[in-house]
Amino acid sequence: MRAVITVIGKDAIGILHKVSGICASHNANVIEVTQSVLQDMFAMIMMVDISSIDSDFTALSDEMAALGNAEGLAIHCMHEDIFNSMHRI
Amino acid sequence: MLNTVDILETIHMIQDECLDIRTITMGISLLDCIDPDIDSACRKVYDKITSRAEHLVRTGEQIEKEYGIPIVHKRISVTPAAMLAAACPQGDPVKLAHALQRAADTCGVNFLGGYSALVHKGFSAGDLALIRSIPQALAETGNVCASVNIGSTRSGINMDAAALMGQIVCEAAQATADRQCIGPAKLVVFCNAVEDNPFMAGAFHGVGEPDCEIHVGVSGPGVVRAAIEKYPDAPLDELADVIKKTAFKITRMGQLVGARASRMLGVPFGIVDLSLAPTPAVGDSVAHILEGMGLEQCGTHGTTAALALLNDAVKKGGVMASSNVGGLSGAFIPVSEDAGMIAAAQAGTLCLEKLEAMTAVCSVGLDMIVVPGDITPETVSAILADEAAIGMVNNKTTAVRLIPAIGKKEGDMLEFGGLLGSGPVMPIGRKSAAKFISRGGRIPAPMHSIKN
């Protein structure tokens, strides 16, 4: 079971650290990260393994949303099933 | 493997193009709540609904967070209440409406549908009492929705019911005249009503359905419009393909959410209704899809053809995306719930006659149309009969939700708020059909009803 975390917003020090820190605190393993900074815009897509997380997935999702609000970033934390079902036959 | 483009497309659809799941609707049978004592029936109804749907809202919210997609409404549909009223001829059916409202409040759902009667061939026990109680029931409750089926392709049109419903629609408006005439906004008059519709106000849980099940209604006009705009000069067959692919993606989302909700609640998965349901929000309009195809404004000549293309492509794309497609499944054209329709009606481009033509090729009928408060019950009945005739002859569901705006005239507005939106009072024909309506009886079923 995997989840996709996307982060878009103004670049700042420590975004990747904070997002991956929340993942670690829930025992979610980061598998893959694609990241780019265009001018001062930060964009990242992170794939995390959530099969052994030690909390409810919605708790992880809530915490990411709270981080997004606090830092002024658009953070989405979504189960991979939504992308698979929408884009794969 | 997932790729970046797919991930960003999904997020873009949800964030910028108003993609959402319109509703998770739990259908609950109340047949085991029938009781000759109305108070006892009310208790059973309340207990059954609140036990079956106890976790519905919480489950919906959990799925929203898991998949990152908004689920706008959580709703319940129940067995037509007339079947319960039939067992207690001395009881006041409004008590059932209050029991349904209490159950809706306890469960925290947005709407509860099923204050309904199916009278397409005639009235049976309980039907007349329930229908006559609809204006009071809708005035005294907030989230309960009513519907009456007055015709079908197999049985013809019950014109006594059409005549009665004209009066009921007007009475429902008068009973809520101090609240923007909200009563009839919660009342649908059907021909060929479906038993597994998750959309309000016409949802009820048919007798052929299981004891309890989960339906999902998707939305997504904004996504379809955005997809069309990427092909400004494509011929229409290519445009139909674009719509099909988009509808497929939207419906897959509904299938995923429905299957998940069904597993979490331990209730069978019913159907995905793959309707394009607009909201008054900017960018979530079916009218704007039609305008995106090249019409200057919705309602002008060409609108019926554009809508036919849209409706057909939505079905073809959606049907492969779900294991069970049902409900109404097509494009909705509710005037007050669609920013583009409201603008077209205010500009005079969209009139009742054009809407009627559009209903012959879309999934439902004359929906959320505000008419002058001095409309006569006979004229309402005549509009109901016209619309039922389109449904009966074309083998499709048609529905009418007319709101007589008491004390208002053409050009005034009614403001319902929320998903129901706001609607301008539209002009109606002024010649009488009273003699035709007063004849009563039944319009026989068409020749092609004899299929066996």
- Interchain contact B252–A (C-beta under 8 A): yes
In a domain, B220, yes or no: yes
Q: Is A82–B256 a contact, with Cβ atoms under 8 angstroms apart? A: yes
The whole-angstrom separation of Cα B145 and Cα B166 is: 17
Reading chain B (452 residues) residue by residue, the pLDDT tens digits are 678 889 989 998 988 888 899 999 999 999 999 999 999 999 999 999 999 999 999 999 999 999 999 999 999 999 999 999 999 999 999 999 999 999 999 999 999 999 999 999 999 999 999 999 999 999 999 999 999 999 999 999 999 999 999 999 999 999 999 999 999 999 999 999 999 999 999 999 999 999 999 999 998 899 999 999 999 999 999 999 999 999 999 999 999 999 999 999 999 999 999 889 999 988 899 999 999 999 999 999 999 999 999 999 999 999 999 989 999 998 999 999 999 999 999 999 999 999 999 999 998 899 999 999 999 999 999 999 999 999 999 999 999 999 999 999 998 999 998 889 999 999 999 999 999 999 999 999 999 999 88
Q: For B113-126, what is each residue's pLDDT tens digit?
A: 999 999 999 999 99
Which residue does chain B place closest to A77, by CA atoms?
A: B68
Query: Which residues in chain B have their CB less than 8 angstroms from residue A41's CB?
Result: none
Q: A47 to chain B, minimum CA–CA distance in Å? A: 10
In a domain, B324, yes or no: yes
Check whether residue B172 and residue B225 sit in a common domain.
Answer: no
Check whether residue B86 and residue B225 sit in a common domain.
Answer: no
pTM of the shown model: 0.94
Check whether residue B178 and residue B225 sit in a common domain.
Answer: no
Cβ neighbors of B68 (< 8 A, separation 6 or more) are A61, A76, A77, A78, A79, A82, B11, B14
Tell me the CATH number for domain A2-87.
Answer: 3.30.70.260
Q: Is B68–A82 a contact, with Cβ atoms under 8 angstroms apart? A: yes
In a domain, B444, yes or no: no
- Interchain contact A38–B (C-beta under 8 A): no
Check whether residue B158 and residue B240 sit in a common domain.
Answer: no
Q: Is B67–A82 a contact, with Cβ atoms under 8 angstroms apart? A: yes
Check whether residue B121 and residue B240 sit in a common domain.
Answer: no
User: How many domains, chain B?
Assistant: 2
Domain end call among B156, B175, B191: B191
Domain end call among B158, B191, B224: B191
Residue B323 phi, psi dihedral angles, 5° rounding: -70, -30
Q: For B387-440, what is each residue's pLDDT tens digit?
A: 999 999 999 999 999 999 999 999 899 999 888 999 999 999 999 999 999 999
The whole-angstrom separation of Cα B411 and Cα B198 is: 32
Q: B199 to chain A, minimum CA–CA distance in Å? A: 23
Check whether residue B82 and residue B117 sit in a common domain.
Answer: yes
Q: B103 to chain A, minimum CA–CA distance in Å? A: 27
Check whether residue B231 and residue B358 sit in a common domain.
Answer: yes
Q: Is B65–A57 a contact, with Cβ atoms under 8 angstroms apart? A: yes
- Interchain contact B62–A (C-beta under 8 A): yes
Check whether residue B179 and residue B263 sit in a common domain.
Answer: no
> Residue B42 sits in which domain range?
25-191
In a domain, B285, yes or no: yes
Check whether residue B252 and residue B300 sit in a common domain.
Answer: yes
Do B154 and B387 meet the contact criterion of CB atoms below 8 Å apart?
Answer: no
Check whether residue B238 and residue B173 sit in a common domain.
Answer: no
Check whether residue B271 and residue B417 sit in a common domain.
Answer: yes
Across the interface, which of B7, B15, B255 has its CB nearest the CB of A83?
A: B7
Confidence of residue A89 (pLDDT cuts 50, 70, 90): confident
Quote the pLDDT of residue B1: 67
Across the interface, which of B7, B62, B252 has its CB nearest the CB of A85?
A: B252
Check whether residue B226 and residue B339 sit in a common domain.
Answer: yes
Tell me, what CATH number does B61's domain have? Answer: 3.20.70.20
The whole-angstrom separation of Cα B288 and Cα B293 is: 9
- Burial of A69 from C-beta contacts in 10 A (0-12 / 13-18 / 19+): exposed
